Amino acid sequence: MKKMIMMATVAVLSTSGMMFLANETMAQAAPEVKTVSKDVADWCTVTVPESAKIGDTVEVKVSLKNVKTPAKLTCDLHNKKEDGAWGGYWLGGKAQDVTAADNTYTFTFTLTPKEGAAEVVTVIFLSPDGKWDNKTASIQASFPLSK
């Protein structure tokens, strides 16, 4: 009887220890990303990472204020080089339907290698059809790339 109780205790402790280690591993695998919110225009606030590096998956959150609907909101990533020169287009986000005058929309990007990129520049715009040529408003917000 004592032997069975001891084996059950060892099994419970063993399982508890594995759960603790699994939770610790999960907590270490997903560090919290520090963000900064920028009031870049009277019609929106943009939240971006404080910084990021190639390979990171980043979120750009756009909080709209008093926007006329219907519309489409688009966020593309461009870049600047170390010397401040414009690096051009990098990654495109899919246009999202603006369903309310005051709402928040999230765009997710994985930063792929880009020769000479030192800064990420978000190019955010509103249009009736999601196309740059038909934009009704646009802004930019940026964050640095770390090595």
SS (H, E, C) the chain: CHHHHHHHHHHHHHHHHHHHHHHHHHHHHCCCCCEEEEEEECCEEEEEECCECCCCEEEEEEEECCCCCCEEEEEEEEEEECCCCEEEEEEECCCEEECCCCCEEEEEEECCCCCCEEEEEEEEEEECCCCHHHCCEEEEEEEEECC
The angle at the Cα of 117, spanning 43 to 36, to the nearest 5 degrees, equals 35
Q: Does 109 or 6 have the greater pLDDT score? A: 109
Q: Are residues 44 and 89 in the same domain?
A: yes
pTM (2 decimals)? 0.78
* pLDDT at residue 32, as a whole number: 83
- What percentage of the chain reaches a pLDDT higher than 70? 79
Q: What is the pLDDT of residue 23?
A: 47
Tell me the CATH number at 40.
2.60.40.1930
Position 120 confidence tier, pLDDT thresholds 50, 70, 90: very high
Put the strands of the sheet holding 35-41 in their side by side order: 35-41, 44-49, 57-64, 104-110
The per-residue pLDDT of the chain, averaged, comes to 87
Are 79 and 126 within one domain? yes
Domain extent at residue 17: 1-31
pLDDT of residue 25: 45
Q: Are residues 41 and 113 in the same domain?
A: yes
Residues 57 and 15 in one domain: no
pLDDT digits (tens, 9 = 90+) for 53-106: 999 999 999 999 999 999 999 999 999 999 999 999 999 999 999 999 999 999
Q: Into how many domains does the chain fold?
A: 2
78, 133: one domain: yes
Do residue 131 and residue 75 come from a single domain? yes
- Do 83 and 137 share a structural domain? yes
